[in-house]
Amino acid sequence: MTEANNEAEYLHNKHNPLTTNEIRQRLRCRYCQKLNTVFSEPEAKDPKELKERKSPKCRRCRLPLSEKPHYKWSYVNPDAYIHPLDRQALQTLRAIPGVDIILRKLIGLTLERMYRVLNKAGSVRVSREQYAHLDSKLEIVCQTLNLPKPELYVSLTSDFGGLAINAFTTGAEQPFIVLYSGLVERLTDEELLAVLAHEMGHIHCQHLLYRTAAITLLLLLDTALGKTPVGAILRSVSIPIQIALLHWMHKSELSCDRTALLVVQNPRVVMSALTKLAGGNLNDELSLDAFINQAREFDKAFEEDFLNKFWTLVLAAKSSHPFPVWRISEILKWSEEQGPESYLQLIAKEGRIDVPAKATV
């Protein structure tokens, strides 16, 4: 049989379920609404074969196809889900006289301008032509929360040339998101959706003025930037503002983890992304369930032991993000609560998510 005949027979069998075991289905992606044609085999009876069989993915956004609903809202009030510690720390920060004016001048001259130039010159801007699946995922996040779509970049290296496995959002006036390629390569498609939703949370919760200023201060403390004229400008910021900014920055991450959960609508996806940031890929050597148990133990020790709480706060103060185990423990508590501000109550709302009657804004 010639090569052409072989190809013709393959195509015939591929599209004719009567001569093969394959079943053709039409599935609409619950995330991006693309209609996909899927060829699948009959349900496996062997548990091992069933475990190894992968779920089909959408050809546009690459997210798993499923008949489960994905909830979207015409309006989401960020005050409905902001973490109480974030709200409290931000109120303390805003109580400092003139803080908004000082910080807007600060970041306008320094970090925001630097990052905008850096990423337009040295990173890949995501679009339908470049990293199209990331562009689709960002659209899903924005459609879920009904938010305008910011620019998104993918960068190979961090600001000063090192490899990074992270993401960040900056730009108080015109926000944009940056994903490092190490993160894109390490995470699954659902985990990438969670990361993009987390970063959009900084925009939705109006974090960017204070967050950009806090990152600027961390650069001053950790790099040679503090010895330049820019560093002199940064040092003019008063000590109370520095302390309040860095204290609030950690708390803001907890709110954005909640944003990620509202978009992904699966706590395990958010927690698996955080686990990978802590210790690498989930495989036979790394278990999500074991890390969740570790997070529960951490939370218990943090609440019951004063020295554990003291050292946790001291060590976390040197980082731009809170410890992954703490973030997972907070996601666990929010996803398991039953109150009016809980995840389970908010996800059940149709059309709009407003501030619950008992919430304090």
pLDDT by residue (tens digit) across 95-141? 766 666 666 666 655 566 777 788 888 899 999 999 999 999 999 99
Please give the residue that has the higher pLDDT: either 301 or 223: 301
Q: For tokens 């943090």, name the residue.
A: 302
Residue 150 predicted with pLDDT over 90: yes
In the predicted model, is pLDDT for residue 280 greater than 80? no
Check 199, 253, 330, 341 and give the catalytic one.
199
Token pair 């809202």: residue: 73
**Which DSSP symbol is given to 130?**
S
Question: What burial class does residue 198 get, using C-beta atoms within 10 Å of its C-beta: 0-12 exposed, 13-18 middle, 19+ buried?
Answer: buried
Res 223 pLDDT > 90: no
Least confident residue range of 13-27, 118-132, 249-263, 301-315 = 13-27
* Cα 10 to chain centroid, rounded: 42
Mean pLDDT score across all residues of the chain: 79
CA-closest candidate to residue 264, choices 128, 127, 140: 140
Q: Which residue intervals of 36-95 are DSSP H helices?
A: 47-52, 84-94
Question: Residue 17's pLDDT is what?
Answer: 47
Residue 150: both structure tokens together: 């910011």
98 φ, ψ to 5°? Answer: 75, 10
Domain range summary for the chain, segments of one domain joined by +: 75-353
Answer whether residue 255 shows pLDDT above 90.
yes
Poorest-confidence range of 22-26, 68-72, 200-204, 313-317?
Answer: 313-317
Strand partners, 124: 154
Question: Which of 309 and 292 is assigned the larger pLDDT?
Answer: 292
In sequence order, what are the residues at sequence separation of 6 or more whose Cβ sits closer than 8 angstroms to the Cβ of residue 255?
78, 81, 82, 83, 86, 201, 205, 207
Instruction: Tell me 198's DSSP state.
Output: H
**pTM of whole model > 0.85?**
no
Angle CA 51–38–72, to nearest 5: 85
Range among 10-24, 173-187, 191-205 with highest mean pLDDT value:
191-205
State yes or no: is 41 an active-site residue: no
**Which residues neighbour 18 within 8 Å (Cβ) at sequence distance 6 or greater?**
none
Strands 176-180 and 151-155: parallel
Residue 147 pLDDT more than 70?
yes
Q: What are the strands, taking DSSP E only, across 41-149?
A: 75-76, 124-125
The rounded percent of the chain whose pLDDT value lies above 90 is 38
- The pLDDT of residue 49: 52
Give the pLDDT score at 195: 97
Q: Are strands 176-180 and 35-40 parallel, antiparallel or unpaired?
A: unpaired
Q: What is the pLDDT of residue 345?
A: 93
Amino acid 214 reads A
> Tokens for 131?
């990293």
